[in-house]
Structure 1
Amino acid sequence: MKKNTLTFLLLLLQLFASAQKLDRKIDSLLSNVFADKNGPGGAFMVAKAGKPIYQKAFGKANLELNVNMNTSNLFQLGSITKQFTAIAILMLEEKDKLSVSDPISKFIPDYPNGNNITIHQLLNHTSGIKDFTKMKSIAQIAQQNLSPKELVGFFRDEPIDFKPGEKFEYNNSGYAVLGYIIELITQETYENFIQKNIFEKAGMSNSRYANDVAIIQNRAYGYQKKSSQYVNKTKISFSIPYASGALMSTLEDMLKWQNALNQNLFLKSNSVKKAFTKSKLNNGEVVNYGYGWHLLSINNIPTREHGGSIFGFKTMGVYFPNQDIYILGLSNCDCNSPTQVTRDIAKIVIENSKN
């Protein structure tokens, strides 16, 4: 009995020492990225088997009020929003409201070339539709409150960049169209659909559609760097990023999201698997993107990844499905991209898990 107790205690000590070593390595990386303790910062999390094993915040959530960042702050997610849009589409498919093989003309009859562009191609960025965020005229609408129909109308008549299915090219317009299709089918706003069918279902009580006017508790304020000075982020209307980039969340809620996906809370396993399956172009070339996730690898270990960028915020999430390890980085300045450091943390965590 005593021998078993001693063995158990030694194991606990080893685990504790390993956790401390991991913390020190991650701290060292992040302290370099967020070296300015009085500047904007970020919040980072590592979770294993659905539970956080590392959570820490750096820098300031609000520069003017000198408020420190904490791990409960809300951040704008930018393009991580696409994950939620993709899952919403698959939820509608499971209810026989649509099929990902449907042409978009089925829902938007007068969409140019709509007979040849499928929902699948919108989801995996192979539609060829012009990306409205790359259009010079976007400045004209950036602060306008547009309806989804008006937003889609802004780019729908632009010439296509390539034939549908011919190549992969990351595209925000496709996800704007997807948001519009969700609204046409459900007869409710994208915001309400996501709130009711995803956030509330997963218990994501601190997640929401972004809003610069509403009072939002624990909001991290967004900043940009001009020359050597920080400034408040450029204002935009959130009807513009819409279903491609307008959601907000926290570390805790994003872990609830990841766990809910793993537990098939929203979809049956064969449906959710579509989001994590690579597809092929017309010529047979493999696309390393599912629906709302890049399907890549780190140290030859498969990952599901996505970043986000919107005025004042940058985000990055990496998930190792086979190890059930999730790494998330959220930053409140677009001068501090968490993309590379989040992937660097992922490498450290994977190496540590082997020991």
Structure 2
Amino acid sequence: MKNLLTKRISSLILFLFLFQVSFSQKIEKQIDSLLSTVYNDSNGPGGVFLVSKKGETIYRKATGKSNIELDVDMTPENVFQIGSMTKQFTAIAIMMLQEEGKLNVSDTISKYLQDYPNGNSITIHHLLTHTSGIKDFTKMKLIMSIAKSDLKPKALIDFFKNEPSDFLSGEKFKYNNSGYTLLGYIIELVSNQDYKSFIEEQIFNKIGMNHSYYASDSKIIKNRAYGYHGGKAYKNKFDVSFTIPYASGALMSTVDDMLLWQQAINNNILISQETKEIVFMNHSLNDGTKINYGYGWHLKEINSVKTREHGGSIFGFKSMAVYVPDLDIYVVGFSNCDCNSPTVLVREIASVIIKDNEKNK
């Protein structure tokens, strides 16, 4: 009787194992098929994609070339510029400083920049939520005149601060890189560290993001993916001084490090649960209208399931990540050509995982 029971248990374990293998292979094929619709040139720029469910990596693949000229294949370990995904780190840095009592999101920016126009009516909260009304400097006609210039944060702020406001603070939501530039400078003022040092020491080092950096084209970075522009023929990316994207878009990372980042957020390593709830709250305009943005993340839905997501775009690179908090699903994708946005792909992959989760309840 005991032997029969043992055999049945063994058979059940084997069945569950084979079912899990079959399930994993099915998911892998579905994701491979999605990627092949965009990344169909094995000799061109490529991308890296990672999917995690409940802390376990269930998909991690690279496609295409990390360097076309040297004919180097992409690997999952490649380091990419992540563009506006940088805003997540800037927002969390601000909230870390709030928890330390060094600032408050209700502070007006005139507390830190006394000469900023209308600074008494614009708060840190407005900067975090893209509701400040400040002109986005990346949309200014003269932006290319400073693109290669190494500017101090204050000089970059001076470039746009006297531009007319798009609207009164709190009246509308309008995505805005200038606001996150101001946040980076405020981080420097209250922490007595430059933005690069604060992010690398207080965040990257603290949670083991050992392959993440403030971007540099001169520093030797192991496993760097080189950036390209598309069109009739691929071209090397346009060079830009990383003092320009700064706190709105100047970081580099890997998909594995980004998973560490997501796990640090989940486990309240950097900020408390109470603060985290504020970060991921649908904040409101002056008239009470809710916006689909927290602090550094878009708050959306896929298949009626709530998501936290953000993409990034910078010369030669595009990035995207989606987190599904109710299911603990994380999907992140990087591309080393700004001709191939991973945004739709990452959301489609997340949709596949969500649907399979529903089927297997």
Identify the match of residue 249 of structure 2 among 245, 250, 275: 245
Identify the match of residue 87 of structure 2 among 79, 82, 100: 82
Identify the match of residue 106 of structure 1 among 88, 108, 111: 111
Identify the match of residue 276 of structure 1 among 267, 276, 280: 280
The answer to whether residue 156 in structure 2 is matched with residue 161 in structure 1 is no
Q: What's 1:258 paired with?
A: 262
1:128 and 1:9 mapped to 2: Cα distance? 60
| Unaligned segments of structure 2, at least 5 residues | 1-5
The answer to whether residue 41 in structure 2 is matched with residue 60 in structure 1 is no
Q: Tell me which amino acid in the other structure corresponds to 1:214.
A: K
The answer to whether residue 110 in structure 2 is matched with residue 97 in structure 1 is no
1:112-261 maps to which residues of 2 (within 5 A)?
A: 112-226=117-231, 228-261=232-265
For each residue in 1:231-270, what CA deviation from the matched residue of structure 2 results, as whole angstroms up to 9, or x when unmatched? 0000000000000000000011000000011111101110
2:283 and 2:230 mapped to 1: Cα distance? 39
* CA positional deviation for 1:279: 0.7
1:65 and 1:35 mapped to 2: Cα distance? 19
SS of residue matched to 1:47: strand
The answer to whether residue 85 in structure 2 is matched with residue 73 in structure 1 is no
For each residue in 1:7-37, what CA deviation from the matched residue of structure 2 results, as whole angstroms up to 9, or x when unmatched? 1110111111011000000000101110011
1:135 and 1:351 mapped to 2: Cα distance? 42
For each residue in 1:203-228, what CA deviation from the matched residue of structure 2 results, as whole angstroms up to 9, or x when unmatched? 000000000011110000000014x1
Identify the match of residue 321 of structure 1 among 314, 325, 331: 325
SS of residue matched to 1:286: coil
Q: What's 2:3 paired with?
A: none
SS of residue matched to 1:287: coil
Q: Tell me which amino acid in the other structure corresponds to 2:336.
A: N
State the number of aligned residues. 354
TM-score w.r.t. length of structure 1: 0.99
* CA positional deviation for 1:4: 1.2
SS of residue matched to 2:32: helix
1:117 and 1:273 mapped to 2: Cα distance? 23
TM-score w.r.t. length of structure 2: 0.97
1:254 and 1:142 mapped to 2: Cα distance? 27
2:278 and 2:229 mapped to 1: Cα distance? 37
Q: What's 1:347 paired with?
A: 351
SS of residue matched to 1:16: helix
> RMSD of the TM alignment (CA)?
0.6
* CA positional deviation for 1:51: 2.0
1:97 and 1:276 mapped to 2: Cα distance? 21
Q: Tell me which amino acid in the other structure corresponds to 1:131.
A: D
Identify the match of residue 5 of structure 1 among 3, 6, 10: 10
SS of residue matched to 2:37: helix
Q: What's 1:308 paired with?
A: 312
Q: Tell me which amino acid in the other structure corresponds to 1:87.
A: I
